[in-house]
């Protein structure tokens, strides 16, 4: 078998056999296939696509290219959740303890933020002492002992994905749906999950801005999961405006705590309940979504969900007192009121028509709250907290948001970007539809 022949075959739209895919992935891991041939093959996949069977075979081969965590001693169902990335998306911090409290063990491997989207690992590191660099054994043992763990991705899990993604990033082949699906699903499978919850974002603040493409990606991952015997629930959700009100690492941890107390923003709370309810039904913990929602709300109202978050923090070396004393986390030095002044707003424009999630994220990034390159240091304490969302009425003189920054100069930088994020209307706008499609 020769790689040049496989490149040529895919270039003409041929379908690879499982043996051919195994050959490619083996060559990626061993280094026997040079980067230039892998890059040529990736471009051919981008142009010609892959069938569902090919995508499932690629996913499985990538998952098996390294270690696969054995979490079977924990129980028959192991949950994991993945989001394709968004602005203000802190659902992992809420879903993991909430579902663990509901009796579904959660084994979550997460990454750091890059570009305009935040990363779960960065958010958790806002908590003093919190460790995410768990070994595979520590990760497994913690899921066994307290029913949940959130750790950073390790190099021995799906190593083929790491090498392929590095090439995709520099060859303009990131936006291939089969390659995205295989990348996401291979890591979930390698991490030992057999109940996978997917939140596929669509809109200005998402990597996938086109709704039709986001739905196609969700459908692909859902069907790949079915082919590989891994139950998947997939939800396509809005990312035109930020999720919740807090954007920035410490701010998002605080908002997650508020949500686990039953005091979070409506859209964030609703999305977490939708995702968790689907998982509950899939895991056999509830007969239907209505029953699941009641159980989940009871866990929040009783304080059980918040207590599980406390247990998670303590198990990973963090200071759990931040739940009642958030000031012990990294904080910006100053808080500045923000009032929009441009975007064609007139005296009659009393309603918020649109909030560009990507621009809100960029406002955080310019004051140190985001990365341009992997490995860049970030300021965990800075960020933006929205006081209004799409459909809300504007009160003259009332701030639209608060900018948390370390200096007045930084505040001016963030405000200049944030000012372009808001659009207004003389008539009330309909609130944005949060969920665009559910695959269960």
- Along the chain (440 residues), what's the average pLDDT of each consecutive run of 10 residues? 96 97 97 96 96 97 93 90 90 97 93 64 93 91 95 85 87 90 92 92 89 96 94 94 95 97 97 96 96 98 98 97 95 92 62 92 89 72 95 87 96 93 87 91
Active-site residue (options: 89, 161, 199, 410): 161
Are 187 and 153 in contact, with CB atoms under 8 Å apart? yes
Task: Give the per-residue pLDDT at 346.
Answer: 55
| Residue 51: count of CB within 10 angstroms of its CB | 11
Provide the pLDDT for residue 114: 53
110 is catalytic: no
pLDDT recorded at residue 363: 94
- Model pLDDT, residue 427: 86
Answer yes or no: are the C-beta atoms of 394 and 349 closer than 8 Å: yes
Active site residue 161: yes
Domain ranges within the chain, ordered by starting residue: 3-49, 79-326, 331-425
CB 164 within 8 A of CB 59: no
**If DSSP states are collapsed to H, E and C, what string results for 62-73?**
HHCCCCCCCCCC
Exposure string for 234-267, b = 16+ CB within 10 A, e = fewer: bbbbbbbbbbbbbbbbbbbbbbbbbbbeeebbeb
Catalytic annotation, pick one of 82, 90, 345, 385: 82
The CATH superfamily label for domain 3-49 reads Transferase, Pyrimidine Nucleoside Phosphorylase; Chain C (1.20.970.10)
Which of these CATH numbers, 3.40.1030.10, 3.40.50.1980, 3.30.300.130, 3.60.10.10, describes 79-326?
A: 3.40.1030.10
3-state secondary structure of 285: coil
CA 103 to chain centre: 22
Within a 10 A sphere around the Cβ of 302, how many other Cβ atoms?
12
What is the value of pTM for the model shown? 0.91
DSSP 21: H
| Residues 255, 264 contacting (CB under 8 angstroms) | yes
Out of 112, 187, 230, 282, the active site residue is: 187
Residue 234 pairs in a beta bridge with 198, 439
- Choice among 183, 186, 256, 277 that is catalytic: 183
The pLDDT of residue 153 is 75
187 an active-site residue? yes
- Catalytic residue among 81, 168, 365, 371, which? 168
CA distances to 32, 86, 159, 213, 326 from 202, rounded to whole Å, are 38, 9, 28, 8, 31
Q: Which CATH class is domain 331-425?
A: alpha beta
258 is catalytic: no
Rounded Cα distance between 103 and 106, Å, is 9
Is 168 annotated in the active site?
yes
Residues 6+ apart with CB under 8 A from 211: 202, 203, 236, 436
Give 332-343 as a DSSP string: -SEEEEE----T
Rounded alpha-carbon distances, angstroms, from residue 121 to 126, 134, 164: 9, 12, 22
Q: Are 231 and 198 in contact (CB under 8 A)?
A: no
d(CA 148, CA 263): 23
- Please tell me the chain's helix, strand, coil percentages from 3-state DSSP, rounded to the nearest 5: 45, 15, 40
């Amino acid at each position: 078998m020769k790689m040049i022949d496989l490149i040529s075959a895919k270039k003409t739209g041929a379908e690879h056999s499982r043996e051919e895919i195994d050959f490619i992935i083996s060559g990626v891991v061993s280094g026997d296939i040079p980067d230039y041939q892998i890059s040529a093959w990736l471009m051919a996949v981008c142009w010609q696509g892959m069938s569902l069977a090919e995508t499932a075979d690629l996913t499985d081969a990538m998952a098996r290219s390294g270690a696969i965590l054995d979490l079977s001693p924990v129980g028959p169902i192991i949950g994991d959740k993945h989001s394709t990335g968004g602005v203000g998306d802190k659902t992992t911090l809420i879903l993991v303890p909430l579902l663990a409290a509901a009796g579904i063990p959660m084994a979550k491997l997460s990454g750091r933020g890059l570009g305009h989207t935040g990363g779960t690992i960065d958010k958790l590191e806002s908590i003093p002492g919190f460790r995410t660099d768990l070994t595979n054994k520590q990760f497994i043992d913690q899921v066994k002992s307290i029913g949940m763990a959130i750790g950073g991705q390790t190099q021995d899990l799906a190593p083929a994905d790491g090498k392929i993604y590095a090439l995709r990033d520099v060859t303009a082949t990131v936006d291939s749906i089969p390659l995205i699906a295989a990348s996401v699903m291979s890591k979930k499978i390698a991490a030992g999950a057999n109940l996978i919850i997917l939140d596929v974002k669509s809109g200005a603040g998402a990597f996938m801005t086109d709704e039709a493409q986001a739905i196609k990606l969700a459908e692909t991952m859902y069907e790949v999961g079915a082919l590989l015997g891994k139950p998947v629930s997939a939800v396509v959700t809005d990312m035109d405006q930020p999720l919740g009100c807090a954007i920035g690492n410490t701010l998002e941890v605080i908002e997650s705590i508020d949500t686990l107390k039953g005091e979070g923003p409506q859209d964030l709370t609703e999305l977490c309940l939708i995702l968790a309810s689907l998982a509950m039904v899939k895991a056999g913990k509830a007969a239907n979504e209505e029953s699941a929602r009641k159980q989940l709300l009871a866990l929040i109202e009783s304080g059980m969900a918040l207590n599980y978050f406390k247990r998670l923090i303590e198990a990973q070396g963090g200071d759990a007192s931040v739940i009642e004393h958030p000031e012990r986390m990294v904080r910006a030095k100053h808080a500045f009121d923000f009032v929009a002044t441009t975007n064609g707003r007139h005296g009659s424009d009393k309603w918020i028509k649109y909030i560009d999630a990507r621009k809100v994220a960029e406002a955080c990034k310019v004051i140190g709250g985001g990365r341009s390159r992997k490995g860049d240091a970030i300021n965990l304490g800075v960020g933006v907290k929205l006081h209004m969302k799409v459909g809300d009425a504007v009160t003259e003189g009332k701030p639209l948001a608060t900018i948390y920054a370390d200096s007045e100069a930084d505040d001016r930088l963030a405000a200049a970007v944030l000012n372009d994020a808001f659009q207004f209307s003389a008539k009330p706008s309909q609130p944005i539809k949060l969920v665009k499609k559910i695959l269960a």
